[in-house]
Structure formats: C-alpha cells, structure tokens
Amino acid sequence: MMELKITCIPGDGIGPEIVAEAKKVLNKVAEKYGHSMNFTDILMGGASIDACGVPLTEEAVAVAKAADAVLMGSIGGNTTTSPWYKLPPNLRPEAGLLKIRKELNLFANLRPAVLYDELAAACPLKEEISKAGFDMMIMRELTGGLYFGERRTVEENGVRKAIDTLTYDENEIRRIAIKGFDIAMKRRKKVTSVDKANVLDSSRLWRAVVEEVAKDYPEVTLEHMLVDNCAMQLVKDPAQFDVILTENMFGDILSDEASMVTGSIGMLASASLNDTKFGLYEPSGGSAPDIAGKGIANPIATILSAAMMLRYSFDLDREADAVEAAVKQVLAEGYRTIDIMPQKGETVTEEITQVGTARMGDLIAERI
C-alpha cells in the first residue's frame, strides 16, 4: 500500500478532458491494488494567465514540488487567434512549461515509441518492416548541449557569422546515462548510446562516460551508434532498439522521427525526470484547440503517461503493466477515438467502435 501525492496540471484545450480520464484510471488502480492517491490540481499556461495574470505562480510551483510526481495535460491555445499570444514571450502559456521544467530540474526526457498491432496500418513504414513491431524508449538530455550553450552573431569584415557552442561536462552525461541504464533494467536491458564521436569532442566524452556507467550495469548490453546511422536505422529496422540514450539536439530530432513512425499522436506518452524519482508526465501532443471541448480527444497518451508515472516514479511495475494491458485490450476489442479510426481503404479484421474521450477512459478503467 502506497500513499501517493500527485499534482495535476489540467492546463488548456483538451488538457482538462484527457487528465480527467487519466485520473479515472489511476483511481481504479488505487482501488484495485490498495493504494491511496491524493490529487491536487494547479493552474498553468493559459488557464493561469486568465486567473492569475502569469502562466505559472510561485504557489503553484511550491505545490508541484511538494508532490511525489506531476501529471500534466497540455497547455497553450491557438497561436494565431488566442489573446495569450499577444502577451510578451515571458508571459505566454509556454513560459509556464519552461519555468516548471527549470524549477523541478527535469534534465531527462523520456519518450516511448510503440507500435500497437491494431494500429500498425497508421505506421508509415513498409509492412515488411512494421510487421516486426517496435517498442523503444528515447532518453534525451534536456538541459545541456547546443540549445543551452553560449551563442552570438557577429560581423567580421562585412560578413555575418553566427556561433553556437555545444558543451557537456561529465557530470551532466553521467546523470542522464544512469537514468538510461536504470530504465533499461526495467525493460529489455539494451542501451543504444547515440553520438557523433567520429567528429565531436563532446560526443567522445559522452561515449567515454557512458562506458564508465555501463560497468555498473553488467546485465545491460551497451552499443554505440552514430546519429546519422541511427536516423536511418529508425526507419529501416526500428525493432532493434530498446533504450536510445542521447544528447539534447540529437534527441530532439530522433524522438520526433521515432514518434512519427508510430503514426498516432494521441497515443504518445512522455516523461521528464530529475535525479530523484520525481517526474513530470504528459502526452507528447499539444492542447489541440481545434477539438477542445468536443469530448473526442484521445486520452490514451495521457493514460500511458500515468502508467509511466507508476513505473518510473513509484516503481509500481505491476500496476503500470495493468494499465498498458488495459489499453492494448480496448484496442484489440476494436474501440477507437476519432484520431485512430481506420482510414478509408484500410482493411480491418475486428469490428470497430468509435468512442469519445470519457467512454475511452471508462473502458480502460473497467479493464484494470
């Protein structure tokens, strides 16, 4: 029996709708497995701007810090029509997200890319490749590297020149490598560390430190792969990957590539972790203002993010397995939200039933 304190950030757009379904599923987990889950909501993004004038208040940050984990929907509105985007950049919805990531020291970003048999037709890869299936986890360093290095633009002899710097120290590499190996231990025990060690010093240090960390994980198989090769392998043979461990910019690009090969945005979970068990869990998609309030958004990415929370923040692997199995079961029974309905011309073997957000949440909760 665990007592879990969870801060929820429903956010904007479809956020409140999809978070409600994840809570429903977590409550069912608590009931079935005898845990107590205590939810506290905080405002962030547009909802906080409307209520408090800023995208995230200090009080809200304090509530998040006092929790065991944070479950988020999504924030932001229509970036061309919403008045939130007339505000200066530091007061816009996204500033809340940047602030909470910084305040909570979330340096490790986790994005699973899983191909579900029932949704294989949405996978843009050739059938001979997709039929092997895939289930990988991209672990991206989130607070260092090129995006945070010193940068400037100068003019030399009438020629404009821009300089960006890519820096990593061994401590930054070690802490993310440890996270990567820890996560591999909960999976198929393989880490593919991705770098550009044939060119970059930062990658050579990355490789050396990852090798050092690997010594503490004798059960995990480590391989190194150059980033250009990895970009190819993701579309050629994605089944080979378990955990992909990589730096910020490479991870930015590769995680988008990996999520596209699944073909279903409403199914993509994610997590950002710090060096304790604390994490912020959220779907990879945005607030989908085009479908907000219609009750048709797919809650599965948020529900799978909640499963990640159970697994990685609370070590409740059995409970996480139960949530993931329930998701697979509803898909196998033919239930779909509108975004994952079969496309015209697609052959389907099972009978398909289109359902809305709340019904999908109910169906998953019932199968826990």
> Which residues of the chain form contacts with ligand NAD (CB under 6 A)?
14, 18, 74-77, 79, 94, 97, 265-266, 282, 285-291, 297-298, 301, 339
Shorter beta-carbon distance to ligand NAD: residue 227 or 265: 265
> In the block, which residue shows the tokens 């905080």?
42
Q: How far is the CB of 192 from ligand NAD (least distance, A)?
A: 26
First and final CA of the chain: distance in angstroms?
17
Q: How far is the CB of 291 from ligand NAD (least distance, A)?
A: 4
Q: How far is the CB of 292 from ligand NAD (least distance, A)?
A: 9
Q: Is 161 a catalytic residue?
A: no
Do β-strands 279-283 and 3-11 pair in parallel, antiparallel, or remain unpaired? unpaired
Q: Is 362 a catalytic residue?
A: no
Shorter beta-carbon distance to ligand NAD: residue 149 or 286: 286
Q: How far is the CB of 345 from ligand NAD (least distance, A)?
A: 21
Tokens for 302, please give them: 């948020």
Of 5, 189, 190, 196, which residue is the catalytic one? 196
Shorter beta-carbon distance to ligand NAD: residue 43 or 177: 43
Q: How far is the CB of 117 from ligand NAD (least distance, A)?
A: 20
Q: Is 217 a catalytic residue?
A: no
* Residue 237: count of CB within 10 angstroms of its CB: 13
Q: Between vectors from CA 335 to CA 330 and to CA 339, what angle results, nearest 5°?
A: 115
Shorter beta-carbon distance to ligand NAD: residue 238 or 266: 266
Of 41, 85, 147, 182, which residue is the catalytic one? 147
The number of C-alpha atoms within 13 Å of 208 and in the hemisphere containing its C-beta is: 11
Of 50, 117, 164, 256, which residue is the catalytic one? 256
Of 195, 242, 252, 281, which residue is the catalytic one? 252
Q: How far is CA 285 from the centre of its chain?
A: 9
Shorter beta-carbon distance to ligand NAD: residue 202 or 262: 262
Q: Is 252 a catalytic residue?
A: yes
Shorter beta-carbon distance to ligand NAD: residue 18 or 261: 18
> In the block, which residue shows the tokens 């010594």?
215
Shorter beta-carbon distance to ligand NAD: residue 144 or 266: 266
Of 169, 216, 228, 275, which residue is the catalytic one? 228
Q: How far is the CB of 201 from ligand NAD (least distance, A)?
A: 32
Q: Is 168 a catalytic residue?
A: no
Q: How far is the CB of 220 from ligand NAD (least distance, A)?
A: 30
What are the catalytic residues? Answer: 147, 196, 228, 252, 256
